[in-house]
Amino acid sequence: MKKTISLILLATLATSCYKDLGNYDYDFDSLNEIREVEFSPKTFIGAQGETVELQQPLSEDATRRIEVNLSQTKFSDLDNLDFTWFVSRTEGKETITDTLHTKGYLDVFLAAGKPSQYKVRLKIYDKSTTIAKYFALVVNTRPVFKNSLFVLHGNTMGTIKLGNIEELPTGTNVTTDAFKYIYPNDNKEPFGNAIGLGYSAYYNMMSRKESHNLCAFKVDGTADIYDPFGLTPKFHPNYVLPPESEDPFIFSRMIATGEASQLRDYKCILSRDGRIYVAKTYLCFYQPAGITPPDDTYKVTAATITGSHFVMWDAQKERFLMLRKDDAFPYDEKNARNAQLSNQIINARVDFTSLGQSLSPRGKKALYAYNGYRDNYDEAHPFFIFKDDSNNFFIYELTPTNGGGSGKDDKGDKGKDNNDTSEDKPQFTITGKRLQHLPEDLSPSTLAYNSWFSTNYIFYAKGGSVFRYNTSNGDTEEIYVAPEGYKVSVMKFRTEDSGLFVADLGRILSIGINKGDEGAVAEIKLTTAADVDQAFTPRFYNKAEDGSKFGTIRDLQFAHIYFYKSPN
């Protein structure tokens, strides 16, 4: 026992007497360091992390190569490095993992006509230092037409085509017939009688997958719906519009507001005869449950969507109508048509007396309606633009009373305690004024607004020019001029979605222009102040790679993936 104590004391004394001189020479500069590791094709941050995207082959299986580009401090070649790839893929319910050793590249197999995905872990081992670096990435195929602009064009009904403009890392692919591009041996003309396009991208809570949907409204009152990235038909023939035995719903235009990332995006469509159908998230539209009183009738010519209501102008009885949004909209995408709505359209009881006869909206035609919904959506006021028989233009702002148009989006309780929609009470007050310097031939297709901008700013076309217009003071600024001879026929911002994952797509304005029977498409980008963004290169396309040209531009629709860009 004494020997043990003595040894411990000795060790303690030896330790306490040691002096750290601190003169170590670790010569880190002589060690090799791996720097600037990048992949080709370049990666981006997607929903599943760092991602490499490869173009999906259409007709034949293909093999594509991913290469590692790096630099080292001590070596100029790769002889000192070992590359080990751990590659996982799913086949049915089975996950298969392969381990591959190559000199800085990975070849992946891509099946034609269907998506492929590989989850990859890369180990780069430096034999000179015995240090390893690890990287994780996902390899996805890029489906055809991803994040691209669809162009509905043609000179006569029955011969309408769906074109496409797709910007790729290697250049821009323009086709005047997207269906033939994918199905060259199919003689069908599925878009021959199309008159308008609609789009919706969202996360399907039931399947836990992103869902992308392009619909084509037809002149016979039907509509088809497709996966835009391959134009594969989806759902069933009556998915978009309910079957109409007597009076087909002939599409006029679609209005959309809200955030798809929060499942708070709503839509409505108007028919040429003044009906309105409504939807939430999905492109499955419903007729409202009715109108109060039940024998009342209406003809809607303009509509917008506030935080709690669809608000519309009834041209038949010259009044504002409203419909609550908090209805039994479905959460089951596939069976959405089975939903039954219960809310009814009611008279908003807006009193025009304070405006006087000359300023009253009665006797005028409603052209367009909009409201801001990016910030403080629940408090946003709807605006309506009207035109009289003398080609004078007017703007009206509706300010909610206790019950009209304001309130938490589909969370408010019905009834007088919280959101009073009793028929005898005005739901809005109204102010209005005349707008100066607007062109006589202004139409809904040549008017545009996006929630990126102040509600003072709208955009309109005159001839071949597009203007920013300040409704507060009448100031006009020309922001786009088409090549000589062209006239603007339609303009749309790339998205109306104000959600987290669409980045600044809503600031890019797509413009359809025509010169006789030939059409073209232009695009510009605006700053948040509604000035032209000089950092964005304007686009102009009038023909495909094969030399074929666009016909008369009838509608435009940008189709973006749900997770277009991370908000971070």
Q: What is the pLDDT of residue 10?
A: 37
Q: What is the pLDDT of residue 23?
A: 53
pLDDT band at residue 416 under the 50/70/90 scheme: very low
- Are 130 and 261 in a shared domain? no
What are the pLDDT digits (tens) for 442-495?
Answer: 999 999 999 999 999 999 999 999 999 999 999 999 999 999 999 999 999 999
Domain end among 142, 160, 183: 142
Beta strands in 205-282 (DSSP E): 209-218, 223-227, 232-233, 251-257, 266-271, 276-280
What are the pLDDT digits (tens) for 52-66?
Answer: 989 888 878 999 999
Assigned domain for 285 exists: yes
Assigned domain for 480 exists: no
Assigned domain for 371 exists: yes
pLDDT band at residue 11 under the 50/70/90 scheme: very low
On the question of a cis peptide bond just before residue 115, with omega within 30 degrees of 0, the verdict is: no
Q: What is the pLDDT of residue 402?
A: 73
Q: What is the pLDDT of residue 70?
A: 94
By C-alpha distance, which of 276, 415, 417, 292 is closest to 347? Answer: 292
- Are 255 and 138 in a shared domain? no
Q: For residues 350-362, give the mean pLDDT.
A: 96
Assigned domain for 130 exists: yes
What are the pLDDT digits (tens) for 194-220?
Answer: 999 999 999 988 888 899 999 999 999
pLDDT band at residue 4 under the 50/70/90 scheme: very low
What are the pLDDT digits (tens) for 480-517?
Answer: 999 999 999 999 999 999 888 898 999 999 999 999 99
For residue 91, the domain's CATH number is 2.60.40
pLDDT band at residue 245 under the 50/70/90 scheme: low
pLDDT band at residue 110 under the 50/70/90 scheme: very high
Domain end among 126, 142, 158: 142
Mean pLDDT across the chain, nearest whole number? 90
Give the C-alpha separation, 481 to 461, whole Å: 10
Share of the chain above pLDDT 90, in %: 75
Q: Residue 133: is its pLDDT beyond 50?
A: yes
Greatest CA separation found in the chain?
117
Assigned domain for 544 exists: no
- Are 253 and 363 in a shared domain? yes
- Find out whether 124 and 81 touch, Cβ atoms under 8 Å: yes
Assigned domain for 369 exists: yes
pLDDT band at residue 7 under the 50/70/90 scheme: very low
- Find out whether 490 and 520 touch, Cβ atoms under 8 Å: no
Residue numbers of the domain that contains 54: 30-142
What are the pLDDT digits (tens) for 316-355?
Answer: 999 999 999 999 999 889 999 999 999 999 999 999 999 9
Assigned domain for 484 exists: no
Q: What is the pTM of this model?
A: 0.83
Q: For residues 287-306, give the mean pLDDT.
A: 95
- Find out whether 369 and 303 touch, Cβ atoms under 8 Å: yes
Assigned domain for 416 exists: no
- Are 103 and 248 in a shared domain? no
Number of domains in the chain: 2
Give the C-alpha separation, 447 to 489, whole Å: 10
Q: What is the pLDDT of residue 404?
A: 61
Domain end among 142, 175, 198: 142
User: 190 forms bridges with which residues in the sheet?
Assistant: none
Residues 6 or more apart whose Cβ sits within 8 Å of residue 91: none
